[in-house]
Amino acid sequence: MIVRPFRGLRPRRDMIEKVAAKPYDVVTTEEARKEAQKNPYTFYKITRPEINFDGEVDTHSDEVILKGKEVLEQFQKDGIMILEDKPAIYVYREEWKGYSQTGIYATFSTKEYKDGKIKKHELTRKDKEDERARHVKLMKAHTGPVFLMYRSIPEVDNLIIKHTSKEPEYDYTDESGIHHILWIVKNENEINEIVEAFKKIDAFYIADGHHRAAAAARAAEELAKENPNHTGEEEYNYFLAVLFPHTQLHILDYNRVVKDLNGHSKEEFLKKISENFNIEETEKFKPSKKHEFGMYLDEKWYRLTAKKGTYNENDVVSSLDVSILQENLLKPILGIENPRTDKRINFVGGIKGIEELERLVNNGEYKVAFALYPTDIEDLLRVADEEKTMPPKSTWFEPKLKSGIIVHLM
């Protein structure tokens, strides 16, 4: 597999805490605007460029996106962000709540993505792909990384960790309590050692950022057509990502809340559930193993255990807990045919805890909540290897990757 060094655009060491920001899609425009009022150097000015305007604007318009590009260029002119003097690979570690993941920032081949060597496990929406591809083309940059993983090989993992004994360029803890450390590898022999090591690996896997990867490939295709001197080595043929060994990654539960019981009384609802699940009333309940679910209804917790025959043990997608819940409860009983589009269902990341499920039901916003056991990373890899697709909202990786730590200019 191809791992390619590049000249990263990154914040000056004393500015990293001010510039780096959460991914654009986990904050609202209003939240980004409030941050910018306190901190004029936030990367939201680039990834949420509508906050550079007063009042309502079309967030997808060329004018708004190009304003973000203008701010990025200004950050570079003002020395807030600096362009690396030569190609580098960046070793990066995140530490959070006792977990640690150490990988590399590099650029990766859009051709390998199109050839299926960078494997995916989710469907992408064409409209979102279009929007992100246009953003890449107008910005002439990848402003946020794709989150990749590879099947852990100790000798490769150790080769990366070897560089963490040096003096880091960044070492700080952010507002969410995540500790970020980054080392820069510029020595050509050391870079080549890393590049050669990854050539022995057969595939990379997308953990998070399917739309970013698809958009990068789409933008590369369009830019190649527009370039009569296209060689395949241009920067647009490569996209920004952070690559971690799969054994270090941490998937949290991704829970569900539903607004009503689809016309059923509580008694009817429980009776219908009992056809496919064993039900047991319990104290506050967080599932501790596969095929076990917590359900919160009318200020009571229930343990649901899937009965034999509700799923095919030999089919990786059918035996996922998100599939078991969807096919045996959400769809047939609650009438949620398509969880992607049905407005009666919502999804709650496990980082908020099951207390958030109780809160949403107790305040009347939702009628019932379901707590799931986190998807196993080996199941995710198997889905990708078998070229299958996970149901929507199957995985919640934590910690997330921030934007603005490194930018890839095209």
- The residue-averaged pLDDT of 299-317 equals 93
For residue 79, pLDDT beyond 90: yes
- Residue 73 pLDDT grade (very low, low, confident, very high; cuts 50, 70, 90): very high
CA distances from residue 57 to 79, 158, 344 in whole angstroms, order as listed: 29, 48, 29
For residue 213, pLDDT beyond 90: yes
Q: Which of 174, 170, 168 is nearest to 81 (CA)?
A: 170
DSSP lists the bridge partners of residue 293 as 304
For residue 393, pLDDT beyond 90: no
- The residue-averaged pLDDT of 235-258 equals 96
Give the domains, in start order, of the chain with CATH numbers: 8-250+399-409 (no CATH), 254-373 (3.30.1760)
CB 302 within 8 A of CB 285: yes
Determine the pLDDT at residue 128: 86
Q: Where are the alpha helices (DSSP H) in 188-279?
A: 188-198, 210-226, 266-273
Determine the pLDDT at residue 58: 84
pLDDT in tens, 130-160: 889 999 999 999 999 999 999 999 999 999 9
Query: What pTM value is reported for the model?
Result: 0.91
8 or 124, higher pLDDT: 8
CA distance 176 to 68: 25
Share of the chain above pLDDT 70, in %: 100
**Cis peptide leading into residue 391 (ω within 30°):** no
Determine the pLDDT at residue 105: 98
- The residue-averaged pLDDT of 205-225 equals 94
CA distance 106 to 142: 12
pLDDT in tens, 330-353: 999 999 999 888 899 999 988 888
126 or 346, higher pLDDT: 346
For residue 60, pLDDT beyond 90: no
Residue 45 host element (H or E): helix 44-47
Collapse the DSSP code of 246 into the 3-class scheme (helix H, G, I; strand E, B; otherwise coil) and give the result: helix
C-beta atoms surrounding 219 within 10 Å: 25
Q: Which of 349, 90, 120, 375 is nearest to 244 (CA)?
A: 90
CB 119 within 8 A of CB 126: no
Spatial neighbors of 186 by CB under 8 A, at least 6 apart, are 84, 86, 87, 88
**DSSP state string for 67-92:** HHHHHHHHHHHTTSEEE-SS-BEEEE
CB 208 within 8 A of CB 147: yes
Determine the pLDDT at residue 196: 97
Determine the pLDDT at residue 396: 87
pLDDT in tens, 89-98: 999 999 999 9
